[in-house]
Each structure stands twice: as C-alpha cells, then as structure tokens.
Amino acid sequence: MNSPSSIDSLTPRELEILRFAASRLGDKEIAQELNLSPRTVQNHLHRAYEKLGVSNRIQAARLLSDHYSGESIAMSPPLPIKADRGVSEAPVGLLEDGKAPGGALYQRYIALNEWRRPRKMGGSVLWLILLWALAWLMIAVVGASLINPVLEMIHSLA
C-alpha cells in the first residue's frame, strides 16, 4: 500500500501534520502551531497512518522522504529539551491589534510566577504528612493502652 497513490490520497491537512511530525514535533506542539486541539492532530495522524499503511511517525516520515526525494532521508535530530523553562517563557508575538495573546486571564496566570507550578512532594509538605501520620499513630497507641483500665473499671462497677 506504500505507493505514490497512497500519498496522493492524503488530505492537505494530513500532509501538513505529517510534515510537522517528521520534524519531531509532538502532538501538543503541532496543535499549538496549527491552532488545533491535540486530539484533532492525533486523529489526522491516525487517518494518515492508515492511508499510508504505516504505524508510527518515523515510518511515515521515511515514506514521505522517499516519495519526495527518491531516497531515504533521516529525520531531523531531536530538539534539545530545556527543563528550566516554563510554559509562558516561549517567545510570544503580538496579535494584529497589538495585544498579547490570551487576554486578561492569561496575563493573570503569567503573573502567578512560581505559584502556577504544582507543589513538589518534599520539604514542608512531606514533613506535615509524616507528623500527621505520627499523631494518629500516637492517638491509636494511647487509645489501645487505655482499653484495659476502662474495661476493668466497667467490670468492677457491674
């Protein structure tokens, strides 16, 4: 099924998404680039894979490169991942009206800085959980040690 006609059967959107996938962009990055949802990108990729008779992006990229150049070209190298950058630190251009994208709500989100990141387990939260567990353990031990004297007192009153 890997014939030129199978590549010609791709819609322009499927072809565009496959090209982005071949440049090692993930579904979320492709969706952001094309202003689509990640689920829509996954659907387009799945339909393109079925039409091409492949099962992943590497096979699809190889098939496309073979079709367009006549020889197999390796995929571009993976992009370096910078773990220290937050979501909002990507370069953001202004819209046509000169405003930043996202509006007031997005600007408030950006203003949160460190507060918008989920709290990591460790530090004070971990100690709080451990102290809470220790307190309940102490309550259970004290309660268990008081059972016999209370039962003896009840037995002596009866």
Taking only the tens place, the pLDDT of each residue in 21-50 is 888 888 888 888 888 888 999 999 999 889
Q: Would you say residue 143 lies in a domain?
A: yes
Give the number of domains in the chain. 2
Neighbours of 24 (CB within 10 A): 15
In a domain, 106, yes or no: no
Provide the pLDDT confidence category of residue 73 given band limits of 50, 70 and 90. very low
CATH number where 62 lies: 1.10.10.10
The single-letter code of the amino acid at 27 is: D
Residue 35 lies in a domain: yes
- Which range marks the domain in which residue 139 is found? 121-158
pLDDT tens digit sequence for 80-104 = 655 554 444 445 555 555 555 566 6
Cα-based distances in Å from 97 to 17, 33, 100, 129: 29, 20, 9, 50
- Write down the H helix ranges in 27-118: 27-34, 38-52, 57-69, 103-111
pLDDT of residue 39: 92
